[in-house]
Amino acid sequence: MTSNSIFSMHIPTRILFGCGELKKLATEKMPGKKALIVISGGTSMRKYGYLGNVERYLKENGVDTVVFDKILPNPVKQHVMEAAALCRAEGCDMVVGLGGGSSIDSAKAIAIMACNEGDYWDYIPAGSGKGRAVECALPVIAIPTTAGTGTEADPWAVITNEEVHEKIGFGCPLTYPAISIIDPELMVSIPPQLTAYQGFDAFFHAAEGFIANCATPISDLFALEAIRLLYKYLPVAVKDGRNLKARAKVAWASTLAGMVESTSCCISEHSMEHAMSAYYPQLPHGAGLIAISEAYFETFRNDCMKRYMKMADAMLEAKSNRPSDFIDALVRMQKECGVYGIKLSDWGLKEEDFPKMVQNARATMGNLFTLDPRPLTDDEVLDIYRKSYR
C-alpha cells in the first residue's frame, strides 16, 4: 500500500501554538463582536481560571460573552440545540469552544444550528440523519484544554443522539475553526489517566489515518511525526503532568493528528468505539480505543506491513523489519502510560450487546469501514470486540 498520488489539502484554520498563547485572544483580530463560550458541565474551566481568562481577554478585545456550561463528556444533540437557541436569542456572532473535544465539537455543531433551521440531525448524512446541506455556520474559536481529539485542526464534530443511540462525527469546510489557540499551559491540570486516554485518541487518529486507504503524502508526514512525538513524550506527560515540554510535545502531536483527520481519515476502529460509547456513555473514548486496539491492529497486520514498519521506525527511531514491531511498541507504550490491559468488561459492557454494536458501527459510521486497508467482515468486527472483552 502506498499513499494516493492525487490529493488535496485545505486547512484554513489559523493555528496559534505555544505556552502562554491564550493571551492572543486579547490582541488577534476576532471574527465577531459577541461570543457564546461553550464549556462542560464540570467545574474545571472555572476552578482553574480558564473561563475567567477567556472572558477577560475577549473583553479587552471588545468582544462580549455569554456562557453555555452544560456540555457532557459525550456531548449530546439536545445541548447543541439548546445552546444554538441561546446563541440566537443573545445575538452571538461567534462561538468559542473551551475545554476538551466535547466542548469544541459542540461549539462547531452549535455554530451550524445558530444559522440553519430545523434539527441538528437533519444535517447528519449518516445513521438516521437526513443529510440536509449546511448553508452557513458562525465562526468558531477552538481553545483545547486537553490533548487528544485534534478537533482544533479538523472540521469534525462528534455528537450523540441519545434517542437513537447514534454517535456520529460530522463536519464540512464551514466547521473548521477560524482560529485555534493551543496553549499547553492549559493542560497541566489533566490527571495522569485522562492524559493517557486522550493521548492515545490522538495516537489512533494518526495510526488509523496512516493505514487508511485514503492516506496521502501530506497526511503521512503529519501522522508519522504525531506517532513519533506521542511514543516519546506521552509517557513523560502521564508521569509528570507539570512537565511543560512534554505537555507541549503531546499537544502539538494531537494537533498534527487533527491535521491527519483533515487530510486522511480515521478508519473502522473509530466506528467501533463510537458504537461502544453510544451504548455506554460512561466509557471514555480513549479508553474504548485502547481496549480494542491490540486486537484491531493485529487484524490488519499482514495487510499493510510496510506501513506498520514505518510506524515502528518512527516510534523506535530505528529500522524495523517486521510489522509486529509496531504492535509490540504500541503495547509497550500503553504499559508505560499505565493503561495496558483495559478490557471492555471493566467498563460494564456486556458480551450480548456486541452483535448490536457491530450493526451500530456499520449503520452510523459505516463509511469509515470503506477506508480500511481491506474490507472487514462482520465476524471479524465481532471477533475484535470479543478478544477485547475480558
Q: Which is nearer to a copy of itself, 214 or 382 (CB)?
A: 214
CA 161 to CA 121: how far, in whole Å?
8
Q: Work out how close the CB of 262 gets to a copy of itself at its nearest, in angstroms, rounded to a whole number.
A: 12
Q: Work out how close the CB of 213 gets to a copy of itself at its nearest, in angstroms, rounded to a whole number.
A: 16
- CA angle centred on 238, ends 234 and 243, rounded to 5°: 85
Residue appearing with cell numbers 497541566: 188
Q: Work out how close the CB of 366 gets to a copy of itself at its nearest, in angstroms, rounded to a whole number.
A: 27
Q: Which is nearer to a copy of itself, 17 or 279 (CB)?
A: 17
Could you tell me the three cell numbers for 239?
508521569
Q: Work out how close the CB of 319 gets to a copy of itself at its nearest, in angstroms, rounded to a whole number.
A: 10
Nearest to 140 by CA among 168, 167, 169, 113: 113
In contact, 93 and 33? CB cutoff 8 Å: yes
Q: Which is nearer to a copy of itself, 89 or 318 (CB)?
A: 318
Give the number of other Cβ atoms within 10 Å of residue 233's Cβ: 21
Q: Which is nearer to a copy of itself, 6 or 89 (CB)?
A: 6
Q: Which is nearer to a copy of itself, 55 or 183 (CB)?
A: 183
Q: Work out how close the CB of 182 gets to a copy of itself at its nearest, in angstroms, rounded to a whole number.
A: 10
Burial of 353 per CB tally in 10 Å (0-12, 13-18, 19+): middle
CA 258 to CA 331: how far, in whole Å?
23
Query: What is the sign, positive or negative, of the torsion defined by CA atoms of 280, 281, 283, 288?
Result: positive
Q: Work out how close the CB of 23 gets to a copy of itself at its nearest, in angstroms, rounded to a whole number.
A: 11
Q: Which is nearer to a copy of itself, 27 or 345 (CB)?
A: 27
Footprint on this chain of a copy of itself (rule: CB under 8 A): 5-21, 217, 221-222, 225, 248, 252
Residue burial 241-265, b: 16+ Cβ < 10 Å; e: rest = bebbebbbbbbbbbbbbbbbbbbbb
Q: Are strands 140-144 and 179-182 parallel, antiparallel or unpaired?
A: parallel
From residue 294, how far is each of 36, 205, 234, 291 by CA, in Å? Answer: 41, 15, 18, 7
Nearest to 154 by CA among 222, 95, 76, 231: 222
Q: Work out how close the CB of 236 gets to a copy of itself at its nearest, in angstroms, rounded to a whole number.
A: 16
Q: Are strands 166-170 and 157-161 parallel, antiparallel or unpaired?
A: antiparallel
Q: Work out how close the CB of 102 gets to a copy of itself at its nearest, in angstroms, rounded to a whole number.
A: 25
Could you tell me the three cell numbers for 93?
456572532
Q: Which is nearer to a copy of itself, 95 or 248 (CB)?
A: 248
Q: Which is nearer to a copy of itself, 253 or 357 (CB)?
A: 253
